[in-house]
Amino acid sequence: MSLPLPEQSASTSTWPARRGRILVAAGLLLLAAAAVLCWRPWRHYVAIITSTNPRDGATLVWVPAGPFLMGKKYSERVRDANEDGGWKLAWEVLRGRTTDAPSHTVNLTGYWLYRTEVTVAQYRRFCRATSRAMPPAPWGVWQDTHPIVNVTWDDAAAYATWAGATLPTEAQWEKAARGTDGRAYPWGNDWDPTKCVNASDSPHPVGSIPAGASPYSALDLAGNASEWCADWYDPAYYSSAPPTNPPGPATGRTRVLRGGGWCNGPGYFRATYRSDCDPTSRFDFNGFRCVLRSPGP
């Protein structure tokens, strides 16, 4: 005579279903963790910290210490040349210039960057304080809120000294524009003519296109005015530059300009694009912004 089997409890009878749900949940958690590890959202997050330079009232944004990718890989140069119709890369080859290559990692000490270019009003205040003459007005509209242009490199450097600042090094300028994720433009990797002052008849008020902000909330790092940097220009400097706080070449004939002006086309606005000019020249699309190195926040 066989004995009756004990009655199974409800919890025992539903265990296979529970186990299935647990396995599914565990799988989803693993996928979510993998996605976060691959995406690493914290990698590109930047805390925006601002201050003010009491000398000229300029708003400053903090660019923290650390590494970033400077310059372009060969594949990026070919891509950009194709976008520009090939003329720019061909022109560089004809001139024997490597300009924005090779791509390399640079470590910088933290610094404060002017959020916008120095304005006409700020520069006028400097001229009054130092008995310096204002530069000639550019063609078109020129208002107090517009970036100062038609300044030589010496004009820009003198203003920076008066303001207790310096001109940015080329590396400082590029990190402020590009961030640490290797982006092509201050706002991202795709060209967007609505995010900077370009192909215009004249400069616009500084900071008038907030959608074009860099990762550190700096404005007009593409367009409006090309910006003088502290460095002498050397087309092959990237091949020999030190990996930490590169100061630029010791000597040269021309000075570095970055960012592209209000009248330029798309190729000039990439965060890696390098330009240069006679430091004594005056053009109505060349301006500048400044850097303060200490104290930090």
What is the widest separation between alpha-carbon atoms in the chain?
118
Instruction: Report whether 173 contacts 63 (CB < 8 A).
Output: no
Residues forming a β-bridge with 119: 147
Residue 297 covered by a domain: no
**How do the pLDDT tens digits run along the chain, 297 residues long?**
444 444 444 444 465 666 666 665 666 666 655 444 444 443 456 789 999 999 999 999 999 999 999 997 655 655 555 555 455 555 554 444 446 777 889 999 999 999 999 999 999 999 999 999 999 988 777 899 999 999 999 999 999 999 999 999 999 999 999 999 999 999 999 999 999 999 888 899 999 999 999 999 999 999 999 999 999 999 889 888 999 999 999 999 999 999 999 888 787 899 999 999 999 999 999 999 999 987 888
pTM as predicted? 0.81
- Nearest alpha-carbon partner for 109 in 246, 256, 241, 229: 246
How many CB atoms neighbour CB 138 within 10 A? Answer: 23
Residue 8 covered by a domain: no
pLDDT of residue 46: 76
Q: What is the pLDDT of residues 99-156, one digit of tens each?
A: 677 788 999 999 999 999 999 999 999 999 999 999 998 877 789 999 999 999 999 9
Residue 16 covered by a domain: no
Residue 96 covered by a domain: yes
- Three-state secondary structure call for residue 267: helix
CA distance 39 to 175: 21
Q: What is the DSSP string of 159-206?
A: HHHHTT-BPPPHHHHHHHHHTTTT-SBTTBSS--GGGSB-S-SS---T
Range of the domain at 173: 42-292
Burial 16-46 (b: 16+ CB within 10 A, else e): eeeeeeeeeeeeeeeeeeeeeeeeeeeeeeb
Residue 24 covered by a domain: no
CA distance 264 to 260: 6
Which CATH number characterizes residue 115's domain?
3.90.1580.10
pLDDT of residue 8: 45
Residue 2 covered by a domain: no
Residue at token pair 């300044």: 151
State which H helix or E strand residue 30 sits in.
helix 15-39
Number of domains in the chain: 1
Burial class (CB in 10 A: 0-12, 13-18, 19+), 290: buried
Residue 209 covered by a domain: yes
Residue 22 covered by a domain: no
Instruction: Report whether 149 contacts 225 (CB < 8 A).
Output: yes
pLDDT of residue 15: 56
pLDDT of residue 31: 60
pLDDT of residue 159: 98
pLDDT of residue 103: 86
CA distance 198 to 268: 10
